[in-house]
Amino acid sequence: MYKHFLKSGAILILVGFSQLISAQTKIEIVSIENSPTISKHIYGHFAEHLGRCIYEGFYVGENSVIPNSEGVRIDIIEALKELQIPNLRWPGGCFADTYHWMDGIGDLEKRPTIVNTWWGGVTEDNSFGTHNFLNLCKELGAEPYLSGNVGSGGVQELADWVQYTNFKGKSPMSDLRRENGKEEPWGVKYWGIGNEAWGCGGNMRPEYYADIYKKYVTFMSDADVEGGIYKIASGASNDDYNWTEVLMKNIPKNMLQGVALHHYSVIDWGAKGPDVNFDEETYFKTMKESWLMEELIVKHTAIMDKYDEEKKVDLIVDEWGGWYEVSEGTNPGFLYQQNTMRDAMIAGMNLNIFNNHADRVKMANLAQAVNVLQAVILTDKEKMILTPTYHVMNMYKVHQDATLIPLSFDSPMYSFDNESLPALTVSASKDSSQKVHISFTNIDTKKSNTVVIDLNEFKLKNINSTILSSISLQDHNSFENPNKITPKNFKDFKFAKGVLELTIPPFSVIVVEGDMM
* Phi, psi (deg, nearest 5) at residue 321: 140, 180
Classified as helix, coil or strand, 115 is strand
Peptide bond into 93 cis (omega under 30): yes
- Using a 10 angstrom Cβ sphere, with 0-12 exposed, 13-18 middle and 19 or more buried, the burial of residue 179 is exposed
Distance CA 97, CA 196 (A): 9
SS3 letters across 473-497: CCCECCCCCCCCCCCEECCCEEEEC
Strand-pairing partners, residue 314, are: 258
For residue 319, indicate whether it is catalytic: yes
- The crossing angle, in degrees rounded to 10, of helices 155-166 and 130-140 is 40
- Using a 10 angstrom Cβ sphere, with 0-12 exposed, 13-18 middle and 19 or more buried, the burial of residue 75 is middle
CA atoms within 13 A on the CB side of 135: 16
What single-letter DSSP state applies at residue 288? H
Residues 6+ apart with CB under 8 A from 178: none
- Output the DSSP codes for 196-218: -TTTTTT---HHHHHHHHHHHHH
Contacts of 60-65 spanning 24+ positions with Cβ under 8 A: 61/127, 65/382
- Using a 10 angstrom Cβ sphere, with 0-12 exposed, 13-18 middle and 19 or more buried, the burial of residue 260 is buried
For residue 183, indicate whether it is catalytic: no
367, 376 Cβ separation under 8 angstroms: no
Distance CA 294, CA 455 (A): 26
Q: Which of 319, 382, 419, 480 is catalytic?
A: 319
Q: Measured at the alpha carbon of residue 308, what is the angle toward residues 405 and 145, in degrees to the nearest 5? A: 70
* Phi, psi (deg, nearest 5) at residue 449: -130, 130
Exposure b/e, 291-317, CB count within 10 A at least 16 = b: bebbebbbebbebbbeebeeeebbbbb
187, 250 Cβ separation under 8 angstroms: no
How far out from the chain centre does Cα 346 lie? 11
Q: Which of 56, 124, 143, 196 is catalytic?
A: 196
Distance CA 507, CA 447 (A): 9
Give the catalytic positions in this structure.
Answer: 196, 319
